[in-house]
Chains A and B, each alone.
Chain A
Amino acid sequence: MKIDLILFFLLAGIAVVTSILVITRRNAIISAVFLVLNFFALAGLYLLLNAQFISVVQIIVYAGAIMVLFLFVLMLLRTDNESPILSDKRPLKYFAILISVFVFVQIAYLLFAGKPSRNITPDEAASINSGTIQAIGKELYTNYIIPFEVAGFLLLAATIGALVLAKKKFE
């Protein structure tokens, strides 16, 4: 058996098991930690698909920044009365399941009937190159220079907005 196949099954197994653990734990903080583990497994899967950049971003942004934020919020809020999904009796649960199934069907449809991006080709070498940081930087500073600059202004506006709302002295 090839090594990448073994790695795939290992990582996919971790991803499936941890995502089940996320929704069955009683303690929300433990769920969040399992979600971090799930993100690491996903990052590994991206790496197997030669998407180095996405893999790194997955770890830095999702597992790092966003989940730390989640954990902070969960630790600040009291979440004693959460019940795990299997013993939850609220009708809202069925609505949540319905939406999950709906999203799953859509993703499955897109997986089998969707078109790949024009930048992705069946040629393996080209697809490896399109995922490197060098290639992404080149795209970002040529074809996507305007969105890149607008994103910069977006961050500036968000920073100023946060300053306005968090200013201690309201003069």
Chain B
Amino acid sequence: MPSTINEYFQLMPFLIIGIGIILSVVIEISSKSSKEILPWFSIILFFATALYSITNISEHAVLFGGMVEVGGKPAIFNFIFNLGAMLVVMSSIGYLKKYGTYFGEYYILIQSSVLGMMVMAGSKDILMIFLGLELMSICFYVLAGINRNKLGANEAAMKYFLLGSFTTGFIVYGIALIYGTTGTTSIQNLIDNFGEYSSNIIFVTGLILFLIGFSFKIAAVPFHMWVPDVYQGSATTVTGLMSTTGKTAAFSVLIIMLTSIFTLNSANIFKPYFSAIAVLSMFFGSIVAISQNNLKRMLAYSSISHAGYMAVGLAAANSYSISGIIFYLAAYAFMNIGAFSVISIIEGENDSRTDINVYAGLNSKNPVLAAFMALFMFALAGIPPMAGFFGKYYVFVGAIESNLTWLAILGVISSMISVYFYLRVIVFMYFKDAEENFEIEVAPYSLSSVVISGVLVLMFGLFPDMLLRLITAVVSL
């Protein structure tokens, strides 16, 4: 059916970013001062989109004959993606100077990857999921290896690319089987006829292949092998983007695909699968992170364990746990971006100074940075009243609601283990003397990125109702 002009206006978030990408390419080609313009242009784009999404959250609609969904859940995800990307761009301005180069393409690729995430979160058709995923992943592969002079970055990009392509194969194979058994790629059709389809073994095989592919993207054990090397090798700001918004996008797809289970009370046939990856990820991430001395690598393992906590919500699969996951994703995005921004400020040339020893005595050198780092570490550990606590709390309440109390208990044990390595950073910052002397150059934009993340983490922690009310209003849509 022909689409009306009104439908295009409702696509505003996509239009802003899409037109922004094309304008950025033109600016980069034609303007000599693109170095000054492009970062700010990206920041304005992301901020405008985030603002538009969060204010138009109630305008829920499915457009273009069941292709895209706007408003509702996608609006909240768009808010996380765009605000996260905005903060990452802000800390990139100072960070990229350490490489001594300017990459105009860096900002264009970040914009493209955000467009890909928005397509994923707003898709109502498996075709859209696939296109969005590829758009996001291809940008990430390049961004991971943007500093070609560094061996670690090349390794990260290569590993991410090879394993990511392999996973794409799984996802496409799964999609092919789903299409083969149902004859359609429409997700609405899957939701409506899920009961009928789920008796078909080939359909379930397809869905499992699809879930395996996305388990790789959310970095859950046993599909985590790439995470530590990629997160450590990539540029710090890029890692901040990949580990937060990228993970959020992958979770948004899992939530979309399993909506029928969540809303129509169909039997959750994937409960064993998600319980298994949840337990493995939680414990593997928390235990291995203890022995890490590189902060980026430690946060990579912590990212694995956080994926595990969120997977608890997918195993529980009720509307509590889904709102919990979305809240958790928002909280996790801002505390992790904040932590990575601090790391990117402390980091020296050529990715030196990412070890935990460097943080010894940070409090005496730069009390502001130390205070914010401590805030993010407390939040990641899930200590109240930080945002991280409520994320875990809602997810575990959802698990108990679905009679998965044992999973919630294991989650609590694992997060107690994880407190050790988060607090270790704080101990280094406050109770140890500096081993080496170096100048910390704090770029004003990077610091404002840290401050904004810190304020958001505190705000979500002190007034969790504010965000949670928005989420629960749209979670069943």
| Chain A positions near chain B (C-beta within 8 angstroms) | 106, 109-110, 113-118, 142-147, 149-151, 153-154, 156-158, 160-161, 163-165, 170-171
* 24 CB-based A-B contacts, threshold 8 Å: A106-B177, A106-B202, A106-B205, A114-B202, A115-B182, A117-B179, A142-B2, A142-B3, A144-B127, A147-B67, A147-B125, A150-B115, A150-B128, A150-B132, A153-B18, A153-B115, A156-B21, A157-B113, A158-B138, A160-B142, A161-B141, A164-B109, A170-B148, A171-B101
Known: A110-B202, A114-B180, A161-B142. A170 touches B132 (CB 8 A): no
Known: A117-B184, A143-B64. A110 touches B138 (CB 8 A): no
Decide if B112 is an interface residue (CB 8 Å cutoff). yes
Decide if B345 is an interface residue (CB 8 Å cutoff). no
B residues 113-151 near A (Cβ < 8 Å) are: 113, 115-116, 119, 125, 127-128, 131-132, 134-135, 138-139, 141-142, 145-146, 148-149
Q: Which residues of B contact A158 (CB under 8 A)?
A: 138
Decide if B105 is an interface residue (CB 8 Å cutoff). yes
- Expressed in whole angstroms, the Cα–Cα distance for A170 and B148 within the complex equals 8
- Expressed in whole angstroms, the Cα–Cα distance for A146 and B135 within the complex equals 14
- Expressed in whole angstroms, the Cα–Cα distance for A41 and B2 within the complex equals 38
Chain A interface main SS type: helix
- CB–CB B134/A154 < 8 A: yes
Q: Which residues of A contact B138 (CB under 8 A)?
A: 154, 157-158, 161
B234 to chain A, nearest CB (A): 14
B173 to chain A, nearest CB (A): 9
| Chain B positions near chain A (C-beta within 8 angstroms) | 1-3, 11, 18, 21, 25, 63-65, 67-68, 101-103, 105, 108-109, 112-113, 115-116, 119, 125, 127-128, 131-132, 134-135, 138-139, 141-142, 145-146, 148-149, 177, 179-184, 202, 205
Q: Which residues of A contact B105 (CB under 8 A)?
A: 160-161, 163-164
B161 to chain A, nearest CB (A): 10
Known A142-B3, A144-B67, A150-B115; 6 more pairs at CB < 8 Å: A114-B183, A147-B131, A150-B135, A153-B112, A154-B138, A161-B141
Q: Which residues of B contact A115 (CB under 8 A)?
A: 180-183
Which chain B residue has the least Cβ–Cβ distance from A107? B180
Known: A142-B2, A146-B64, A147-B128. A110 touches B180 (CB 8 A): yes
- CB–CB B131/A150 < 8 A: yes
Leading 4 A-B pairs by shortest Cβ distance: A161-B142, A115-B183, A157-B112, A110-B180
Known: A143-B65, A164-B105. A154 touches B181 (CB 8 A): no
Which chain A residue has the least Cβ–Cβ distance from B205? A106
Q: Which residues of A contact B68 (CB under 8 A)?
A: 146
Q: Which residues of B contact A150 (CB under 8 A)?
A: 115, 119, 128, 131-132, 135
B64 is contacted by which of A118, A145, A161 (Cβ under 8 Å)? Answer: A145
Q: Which residues of A contact B112 (CB under 8 A)?
A: 153, 156-157, 160
Q: Which residues of A contact B11 (CB under 8 A)?
A: 146
Residue with the highest number of chain B CB atoms closer than 10 Å, among A110, A146, A163, A165: A146
